[in-house]
């Protein structure tokens, strides 16, 4: 059911990763990885611990620069892109270990996601006048839509440090969504959650994809979740790609089974 | 019970993002401003103006400047007094060398000079952080004071290295008595506190806090780390520069570079720590606390009949003890205590 529903709206390839290799000194984190992501799809990256999944995500949004390979995003080819350019081109992400701004409220955290939309200078903001004030109000309205969408109304003005883990993950998603990204990178959005929180999070991920048409690339360890929500799956092991295809294809791939069961 | 927001509904985002969202706060602040602007100038004594109120306001402004840098943007600085010195000596020289220079413009230009020095000495913060940054701002402190002492041009070739601040005269109105100077300082500090509050509730403030809390995430979201840090240094130094100019023109009158020594930097750092890192109100509370402490202690010593020499030593001991106390018990300082009190007051005296 799921696959069909997504299948209808999935568009052309918007992100193409070709022959990416990433090394840290002598350690090969990624070796010759190629895959693509189509518009509006949910693309999962799975693999055992240390397979290079997070490194892959870090390459996609410019935290790491790969030694070899090319990334083409929306027709633009990039070798070394920095994180700021990635953000400007519409790539947002969440982190494996929550990377919220702990001293700020939920509202302020989500407002930071809108920073690229703000044009006024700090002097205008100091005087809280004209454009600065108008922008603040407009962006607040947008942020409130996201707060509604992710059901964070009750904690709007709570400092994030006081929130439980599951809500923090949701705030992080909200902050990423506030940028109105065309592509969203989620690094283990359900890690460490109980069943109920996982279900909520799955629903939010699917809703984001449905309502905003956001392309999603996610890393997840929970196979049930991955098989349920993703359209296509890339499997990494020891920095190499060992499988790529629909959840069903991947599930029955002997290479993948070997990597996961550890039988060599 | 008295202090609660029940029944105060916000119907616009503009309303919801005002500085004091609770009506009681607005009344309290309005009352405080009326007292500060009208009652105090009418009734306070000369001593009260020149020994307590003026230094309190000037230190509040300096603490506010440091708080922007250290409390909001998370960059530790031990060079506050140096930036104050730049502001003071730059304003003095603008007044001296540019004929017909209005004093407020000289203050602002002095602040801008301090901001530029701040940007220059903020550059190391792009590569280093924490203790190492503290050490590099310490270099600022020594370099600026050394420079002002060794280059006689800055002190107008005064043989003793001491400068005498010019008379203050704005649009023909002289500000000579402590009471008049108090009003001038109060206006400047109030306006600058308002501007600071506006900054920290806008995007620039959020960028500072984002860099303070998690710089990697800040960068991924799209904040430019370099720009954010340098703006923090510039704004902070601007505030310190204006505070330094007021320190010379409205408080000391005659001043030598050594007045802006490391001791002063530390005093202001203590104000920020005791008052509350990352809080505008905290800057005022911390400054008030540290300005009033010696006075209160000397009164206590006076009544207990101990010799006067005890006072200064007692002051140092109480100072040290309090700083350790705050660092351990309440790192967010007096401002956090005030916030907790407010939360308790919402329900008090009914527990539920």
Check residue A7 and give its pLDDT. Answer: 47
Residue with tokens 């006689």, as numbered in its chain: B152
Mutate to test the interface with A, among B217, B232, B242, B280 (most CBs of A within 10 A): B217
Domain that holds residue A58: 1-90+181-264
Assembly ipTM: 0.89
Check residue A4 and give its pLDDT. Answer: 46
Nearest to A87 among B216, B221, B231 (CB): B221
| pLDDT category of residue B301 using cuts at 50, 70 and 90 | confident
Residues A151 and A203 in one domain: no
Residues A200 and A172 in one domain: no
Nearest to A99 among B204, B207, B216 (CB): B216
Check residue A262 and give its pLDDT. Answer: 64
Last residue of a domain, one of A179, A213, A248: A179
Residue with tokens 């402190």, as numbered in its chain: B141
| pLDDT category of residue B114 using cuts at 50, 70 and 90 | very high
Q: Average pLDDT, stretch B8-23?
A: 80
Please report residues of B whose CB lies closer than 8 A to that of A175: 221
Check residue A263 and give its pLDDT. Answer: 52
Considering the domain boundaries, does residue B35 fall inside one?
Answer: yes
Q: Average pLDDT, stretch B25-33?
A: 89
Residue of A165, A209, A164, A163 whose CA lies nearest to A186:
A209
Residue with tokens 């104000």, as numbered in its chain: B271
Residues A116 and A129 in one domain: yes
Percent of chain B with pLDDT over 90: 53
Last residue of a domain, one of A179, A208, A243: A179
The 10s digit of each residue's pLDDT in A192-223 is 888 999 999 999 999 999 999 999 999 988 88
Check residue B127 and give its pLDDT. Answer: 87
Output B64 or B301, whichever has higher pLDDT.
B64
Considering the domain boundaries, does residue B220 fall inside one?
Answer: yes
Cα separation, A215 vs A6, whole angstroms: 11
Nearest to A125 among B204, B219, B223 (CB): B204
Residues A126 and A84 in one domain: no
CATH number where A190 lies: 3.40.50.300
Strand partners, A13: A38
Considering the domain boundaries, does residue A255 fall inside one?
Answer: yes
| Mean pLDDT (chain B, rounded) | 89
Considering the domain boundaries, does residue B345 fall inside one?
Answer: no
Contact predicate A241/A33, CB 8 Å: yes
Report the domain count for chain A: 2
Check residue B82 and give its pLDDT. Answer: 96
Residues A131 and A256 in one domain: no
Q: Return the CA Rg of chain B.
A: 21
Residues A124 and A228 in one domain: no
Q: Average pLDDT, stretch A161-190?
A: 93
Give the global pTM: 0.90
Q: Average pLDDT, stretch A74-97?
A: 87
Considering the domain boundaries, does residue B207 fall inside one?
Answer: yes
Q: Average pLDDT, stretch B119-133?
A: 89
Report the domain count for chain B: 1
With 70 as the cut, is the pLDDT of residue A6 above it? no
Percent of chain A with pLDDT over 70: 95
Contacts of B323 (CB under 8 A, 6+ apart): B270, B273, B274
Residues A186 and A57 in one domain: yes
Nearest-neighbour CA in chain B from A97: distance (Å)? 11
Contact predicate A50/A240, CB 8 Å: no
Phi-psi region of B187 (alpha: psi -120 to 50; beta: other; left: phi over 0): alpha
Mutate to test the interface with B, among A126, A147, A178 (most CBs of B within 10 A): A126
Nearest-neighbour CA in chain B from A250: distance (Å)? 31
With 80 as the cut, is the pLDDT of residue A11 above it? yes
DSSP letter, residue B67: I
- CA angle B135/B233/B220 to nearest 5° reads 100
Residue of A29, A23, A39 whose CA lies nearest to A184:
A39
Check residue B327 and give its pLDDT. Answer: 81
Q: Average pLDDT, stretch B292-321?
A: 80
Check residue B190 and give its pLDDT. Answer: 95
Nearest to A84 among B206, B216, B224 (CB): B224
Cβ neighbour number for residue A254 with a 10 Å cutoff: 9
Contact predicate B248/B88, CB 8 Å: yes
Considering the domain boundaries, does residue A205 fall inside one?
Answer: yes
Please report residues of B whose CB lies closer than 8 A to that of A111: 203, 206
Structure tokens at A137: 């109000």
Residues A157 and A109 in one domain: yes
Q: Average pLDDT, stretch A108-122?
A: 94
Q: Do B222 and A175 touch (CB under 8 A)?
A: no
Check residue B187 and give its pLDDT. Answer: 95
Output B234 or B100, whichever has higher pLDDT.
B234
Residues A164 and A229 in one domain: no
Output B159 or A186, whichever has higher pLDDT.
A186
Output A7 or A29, whichever has higher pLDDT.
A29
Please report residues of A whose CB lies closer than 8 A to that of B210: 101, 104, 112
Total CB pairs under 8 A between chain A and B: 100
Considering the domain boundaries, does residue A97 fall inside one?
Answer: no
Q: Do B209 and A104 touch (CB under 8 A)?
A: yes
Output B275 or B331, whichever has higher pLDDT.
B275
Q: Do B199 and A99 touch (CB under 8 A)?
A: no
Nearest to B214 among A83, A101, A126 (CB): A101
The 10s digit of each residue's pLDDT in B155-208 is 888 888 888 988 888 888 888 888 999 999 999 999 999 999 999 999 999 999
Nearest-neighbour CA in chain B from A124: distance (Å)? 9
Considering the domain boundaries, does residue B171 fall inside one?
Answer: yes
Q: Do B224 and A140 touch (CB under 8 A)?
A: no
- The total number of residues written for chain B in this structure: 352
Considering the domain boundaries, does residue A95 fall inside one?
Answer: no
Residues A82 and A192 in one domain: yes
Please report residues of A whose CB lies closer than 8 A to that of B16: 140
Check residue A8 and give its pLDDT. Answer: 47
Q: Do B210 and A104 touch (CB under 8 A)?
A: yes
Nearest-neighbour CA in chain B from A136: distance (Å)? 7
Domain that holds residue B176: 22-259
Residues A129 and A235 in one domain: no
Considering the domain boundaries, does residue B14 fall inside one?
Answer: no
Phi first, then psi: what are they for A183, rounded to 5°?
A: -135, 135
| Mean pLDDT (chain A, rounded) | 89
Considering the domain boundaries, does residue B333 fall inside one?
Answer: no
Last residue of a domain, one of A144, A179, A214: A179
Residues A194 and A254 in one domain: yes
With 80 as the cut, is the pLDDT of residue B3 above it? no
């Amino acid at each position: 059911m799921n696959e069909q529903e997504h299948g209808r709206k999935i568009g052309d390839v918007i992100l193409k990763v070709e022959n990416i290799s990433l090394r840290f000194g002598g350690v090969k984190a990624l070796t010759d990885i190629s895959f693509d992501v189509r518009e509006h799809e949910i693309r999962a990256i799975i693999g055992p611990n240390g397979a290079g999944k997070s490194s892959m995500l870090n390459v996609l949004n410019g935290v790491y620069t790969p030694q070899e390979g090319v990334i083409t995003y929306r027709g633009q080819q990039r070798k070394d892109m920095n994180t700021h350019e990635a953000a400007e081109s519409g790539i947002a992400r969440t982190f494996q270990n929550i990377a919220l701004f702990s001293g700020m409220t939920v509202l302020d955290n989500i407002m930071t996601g809108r920073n690229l939309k703000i044009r006024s200078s700090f002097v205008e903001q100091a005087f809280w006048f004209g454009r600065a004030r108008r922008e603040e109000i407009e962006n607040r309205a947008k942020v409130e839509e996201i707060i509604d969408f992710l059901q964070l109304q009750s904690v709007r003005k709570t400092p994030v440090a006081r929130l439980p883990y599951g809500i923090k993950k949701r705030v992080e998603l909200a902050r990423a969504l506030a940028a109105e990204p065309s592509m969203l990178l989620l690094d283990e959005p359900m890690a460490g959650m109980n069943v109920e929180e996982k279900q909520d999070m799955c629903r939010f991920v699917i809703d984001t994809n449905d309502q905003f048409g956001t392309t999603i690339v996610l890393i997840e360890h929970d196979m049930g979740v991955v098989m349920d929500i993703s359209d296509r799956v890339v499997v990494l092991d020891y920095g190499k790609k060992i499988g790529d295809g629909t959840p069903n294809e991947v599930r029955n791939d002997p290479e993948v089974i070997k990597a996961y069961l550890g039988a060599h | 019970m008295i202090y609660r927001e029940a029944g105060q509904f916000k119907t616009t985002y503009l309303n919801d993002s005002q500085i004091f969202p609770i009506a009681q706060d607005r009344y309290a602040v309005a009352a405080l401003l009326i007292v500060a602007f009208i009652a105090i100038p009418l009734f306070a004594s000369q001593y009260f103006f020149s020994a307590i109120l003026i230094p309190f306001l000037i230190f509040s402004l300096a603490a506010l400047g440091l708080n922007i840098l250290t409390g909001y943007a998370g960059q530790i600085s031990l060079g506050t007094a140096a930036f104050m010195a730049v502001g003071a000596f730059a304003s003095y020289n603008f007044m001296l060398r540019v004929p017909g220079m209005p004093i407020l413009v000289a203050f602002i230009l002095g602040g801008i000079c301090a901001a530029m020095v701040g940007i220059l000495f903020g550059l190391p913060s792009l590569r280093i952080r924490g203790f190492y940054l503290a050490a590099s701002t310490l270099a600022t402190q020594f370099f600026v004071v050394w420079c002002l002492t060794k280059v006689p041009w800055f002190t107008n070739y005064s043989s003793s290295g001491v400068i005498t601040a010019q008379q203050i005269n704005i649009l023909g109105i002289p500000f000579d008595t402590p009471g008049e100077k108090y009003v001038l300082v109060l206006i400047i500090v109030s306006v600058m506190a308002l501007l600071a509050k506006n900054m920290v509730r806008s995007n620039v403030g959020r960028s500072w806090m984002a860099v303070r809390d998690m710089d990697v995430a800040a960068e991924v979201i799209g904040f430019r780390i370099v720009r954010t840090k340098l703006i923090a240094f510039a704004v902070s130094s601007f505030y310190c520069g204006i505070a330094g100019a007021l320190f010379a023109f409205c408080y000391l009158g005659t001043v030598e570079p050594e007045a802006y020594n490391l001791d002063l930097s530390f005093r202001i750092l203590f104000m920020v720590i005791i008052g509350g890192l990352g809080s505008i109100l905290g800057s005022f509370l911390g400054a008030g606390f540290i300005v009033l402490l010696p006075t209160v202690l000397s009164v206590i010593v006076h009544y207990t009949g101990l010799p006067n020499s005890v006072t200064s030593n007692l002051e140092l001991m109480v100072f040290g003890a309090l700083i350790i106390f705050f660092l351990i018990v309440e790192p967010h300082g007096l401002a956090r205590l005030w916030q907790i009190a407010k939360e308790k007051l919402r329900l008090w005296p009914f527990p539920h």
